[in-house]
Structure 1
């Protein structure tokens, strides 16, 4: 009996070590180009499609919306808070928001596209490939939403995502995966050169044509606090509770 238990435990340990070794041998993913489409269920021939680039490391996540020429960065600070920064390519300007611990969940969601909690609730329906190329098909139905994800565990990467409701369907499809760290560094360096304004100082600079335009276009919520709740929504007023 003890011998059988030892064999079982040894097998489990070897499997765990093997999975760790595979993950360690796989290239680190620093960037992914996604094509995102939103399709109306009532008018399936009409779809809104745009491209979004995701850049990431353990300290920063950057989303680049190529259609609007805007970017958003979520960066971990030394005290384990998340600083959000919005970038506007046309003006080479940036707006920095107050770091908030409430954005930690947002950082995780944006890093992986979906959170660990959601993935943990999903059912594995199929697996294809092995090692670094293994892709798991996961599904979840929650109330009126059906979620399908093609997940690459070794890279912590969403290859494809479908979110289906009664009214519409949203699709994320990875078009290009970047494993060269230099690409990530170049993006960070480019955005770092933009002239940044602290969100708390916007009220003192409302004569700035750039800030006026951003407020009018809705990119900046006039009078918002710069603080966010656990869902990433802006909290009204000037204090965080």
Structure 2
């Protein structure tokens, strides 16, 4: 009897061992699968979270020959999936991505709570949504050389470089957030640096801010000629704030697009 029990015990032990081996193999396979899936899931989550952004940036300029610093300037990047705004001290440049993928700009004047609406055909530069959405276009990043990357998930940071003639451009790119961490443009006489100061992902706050701007009284650019008696429009025309199109940022050649930047 004891022998039989002993045999049963051995069989049970082997079966348990076999089950454990299978479980261990399954766990290992699961871990391996998760190791592959987790970065993708993390990137997808970051992309979802970063659809509603309030990112504060600082712009500094330094004269290379004298090391003299000009006054730092700040602006805030706001974005939803189909709207982007660059908010300076006085001006706000808003871009709306339409269903046909065209871009419609609106320029808001915060103190006066007024706005000028433009048509997509009046936009200077490229109709490149990535340029507006993330301050630097995908095409431009593709031209750069990846020097190194660090971190993972939402904090994955890629460092790029590009030399064009006497200009060196260095980009630290939060790839899964689609945000510039820093960008330095170095020329013989001047170095310009764009730095991310802080960022928040609060959908309610972002939507509220766009709603506030949307409540401003607006005038279509094409109708300005019929409204020159409007003191606000007359003043803005004289100051040169009202022109065709709104500003972009950097095109595929690394050049700033024309239009009223307010940093």
TM-score range, shorter chain: 0.7 to 0.9
Q: What is the TM-score when the length of structure 1 is the normalising length?
A: 0.81
Report how far residue 167 of structure 1 moved: 1.9
Match of 2:195 in 1: 173
Aligned length: 216
| Secondary structure of 2:127's aligned partner | helix
Alignment equivalent of 2:219, drawn from 197, 200, 206: 197
Aligned equivalents of 2:149 and 2:211: distance in 1?
38
Please identify, of 194-203 and 50-59, the stretch whose mean Cα deviation from structure 2 is larger.
50-59
Is the radius of gyration larger for structure 1 or structure 2?
2
| Secondary structure of 2:120's aligned partner | coil
Match of 2:44 in 1: 24
Report how far residue 17 of structure 1 moved: 4.5
Change (3 A) 1:228 1:145: closer
Aligned equivalents of 2:195 and 2:54: distance in 1?
14
Match of 1:73 in 2: 94
CA contact (8 A) 2:107 2:246 kept: no
CA-atom RMSD in angstroms: 2.6
Structure 1 alignment gaps of length 5 or more? 1-12, 235-241
Q: What is the TM-score when the length of structure 2 is the normalising length?
A: 0.75
Match of 1:35 in 2: 58
Aligned equivalents of 1:49 and 1:233: distance in 2?
21
CA contact (8 A) 2:236 2:242 kept: yes
CA contact (8 A) 2:60 2:69 kept: no
Change (3 A) 1:139 1:15: farther
Match of 1:96 in 2: 117
Spell out structure 1 runs of 4+ moving beyond 4 A: 13-18, 226-229, 231-234
